[in-house]
Structure 1
Amino acid sequence: MLSKKKMILIGLIIILVAIGGYFLFNYAEGQKAFAGEHNVLILCADPSEPRPGVGAVDMAFVIQLNNGKVGEITKVYPGGLTHPTKEPSASMRAEGLSVVYLHDSLWSENLTEGTTTAQEIVEYHTGLKTDMVLVMTPEAIDALVKSVGPVYSNGKEVTNDSINFLRDDQDQGATRGDAVENLADGIRDAASKNNKKPALIQAAMDQYSKGNIKVVPEDKFGPFISYGGISNVLG
């Protein structure tokens, strides 16, 4: 049976983006900040749905960390999950929204506001409080696929249009979570088989610098990478 850790490679790969700059210098700080149990929220965003912010949240995961090691993984499907108290903004109401859904939590241009909203929704519906949020767009995923390709998911070669590939996988019966898991397995396997782990790391660094991979709060990113280490993702 495949490890559940693999299914979040699409989200977790972004912990690699600053490995070179932080791994040697921030380990002690990371050990202090992330010792014990912590939860990280991964948001897969689709910017093709028009809104001021990053995009719509298509899928989410909560990753439990135990002293920097990946523990339980919880899939969170955005459909129908609403904020218990937050009122929609004027621009949201103009689009006919009367409540704030997880799907629309990244509506605002203020990323911190959006990720906080997402955290509050997830905590309300799952009971899982998260310490940090990682946001990833299809453009970043496409770049990762390209860096290690060819990538195969569920027996099919992945094109450079990953979001439509995931939707096609769902049209054939896969759940959104399973579709992401299949693609994550494909990226991981390709990086190993093609000896392209360094290329994968470089692509993630590039996408982070371009803003296609986002982290909130940013000041926790370096210590998190240093303490969690590279083995959690590519080991």
Structure 2
Amino acid sequence: MVSKKKILLVVILAIVAVMAVAGVYFMTSYNEGKETFSGEQNVLVLCTDPSENRPGIGAVDMAFVINLKDSSIGNITPVYPGGLAHPTLKPTADMQAEGLNQWYLHDSLWSSDLENGTKIAQEIVKYHTNISTDMVVVVTPTAIDAMLNAVGPVQSNGQEVSNVSSIDFLREDQSNHGATRGDAIENLADGIRDAADKNGKKGDLIKAALDQYSQGNIKVTPEDKFAKFVTYEGINSILG
């Protein structure tokens, strides 16, 4: 099991980005958010690879479920997409034309309908892990690249991450250094966080996250519920 707060930088950054958008609603949303998010919630994080040809935001390379208990991050459960299929949903005609005979988590965001795709991902994760999730955060390599550039230089698993895309680095970490996909993402997230602290670039990191959210490279569903979460939790408890 991945240790508390160790990865999920992607979630933290998305929260910060959305917070900047949702902050105007703080006074009216706090009590509603408190009512909504007191207790236990689960957030599904989908790390995507847009290089595969499809109408949607990209293939799901890796997923995590983050457990939230009031204002604290609890367990983080890695979910490897390989072989995880929807129990009943049949692939669309264009998916079948690509040789898919089941609707896998890897292909859950196939269509351009993000809300429906994240719902499919949640159903697949629920079926295979028995974990229900309340929100979904989708993060692309473009967003991670922007964060790397904002805080660099970054060290990950004893290597400097420079002049390379994040997804290429993750693949190299797996093939050449024996890291699992989950470990590779965890190491890179740690490296970005540590570099932001060491180089005094936390503000740059937040700005990069906001820019990536506004450009659609970090997406959240449902947005209204996530805004309530942000105003309830507050930036200090999230980044602490």
TM-score range (shorter-chain normalised) is over 0.9
What is the identity, as a one-letter code, of the residue corresponding to 2:116? Answer: E
Range with bigger deviation, 137-146 or 8-17:
8-17
**Count of aligned residue pairs for this structure pair:** 234
Within 2, Cα distance between the matches of 1:17 and 1:78? 26
Q: Which residue of 1 aligns with 2:198?
A: 193
Query: What is the deviation of 1:39?
Result: 0.5
- How many percent of aligned residue pairs carry the same amino acid? 62
Query: What is the deviation of 1:3?
Result: 4.3
Q: Which residue of 2 aligns with 1:69?
A: 72
Within 1, Cα distance between the matches of 2:128 and 2:225? 25
Range with bigger deviation, 107-116 or 23-32:
23-32
- Does the CA-based 8 Å contact 1:43-1:57 persist in structure 2? yes
What is the identity, as a one-letter code, of the residue corresponding to 2:47? Answer: C
- Does the CA-based 8 Å contact 2:12-2:239 persist in structure 1? no
Query: What 5-or-longer segments of structure 2 have no aligned partner?
Result: none
What is the identity, as a one-letter code, of the residue corresponding to 2:224? Answer: D
Among 140, 162, 166, the alignment partner of 1:162 is 166
User: Secondary structure at 1:88's aligned position in 2?
Assistant: coil
Q: Which residue of 2 aligns with 1:86?
A: 89
Within 2, Cα distance between the matches of 1:177 and 1:13? 18
Q: Which residue of 1 aligns with 2:118?
A: 115
Q: Which residue of 2 aligns with 1:178?
A: 183
What is the identity, as a one-letter code, of the residue corresponding to 1:214? Answer: K
What is the identity, as a one-letter code, of the residue corresponding to 1:10? Answer: V
Within 1, Cα distance between the matches of 2:212 and 2:152? 17
Among 132, 136, 150, the alignment partner of 2:139 is 136
User: Secondary structure at 1:5's aligned position in 2?
Assistant: coil
Q: Which residue of 2 aligns with 1:202?
A: 207
- Does the CA-based 8 Å contact 1:46-1:58 persist in structure 2? yes
Within 2, Cα distance between the matches of 1:16 and 1:34? 17
Within 2, Cα distance between the matches of 1:117 and 1:21? 27
- Does the CA-based 8 Å contact 2:4-2:74 persist in structure 1? no
Range with bigger deviation, 221-230 or 113-122:
221-230
Query: What is the deviation of 1:228?
Result: 2.4
Within 1, Cα distance between the matches of 2:48 and 2:18? 21
- Does the CA-based 8 Å contact 2:4-2:73 persist in structure 1? no
Within 1, Cα distance between the matches of 2:202 and 2:58? 29
User: Secondary structure at 2:7's aligned position in 1?
Assistant: helix
User: Secondary structure at 2:64's aligned position in 1?
Assistant: strand
User: Secondary structure at 1:4's aligned position in 2?
Assistant: coil
What is the identity, as a one-letter code, of the residue corresponding to 2:174? Answer: Q
Query: What 5-or-longer segments of structure 1 have no aligned partner?
Result: none
Q: Which residue of 2 aligns with 1:215?
A: 220
User: Secondary structure at 2:73's aligned position in 1?
Assistant: strand
TM-score, with structure 1 as normaliser: 0.95
Within 1, Cα distance between the matches of 2:236 and 2:212? 21
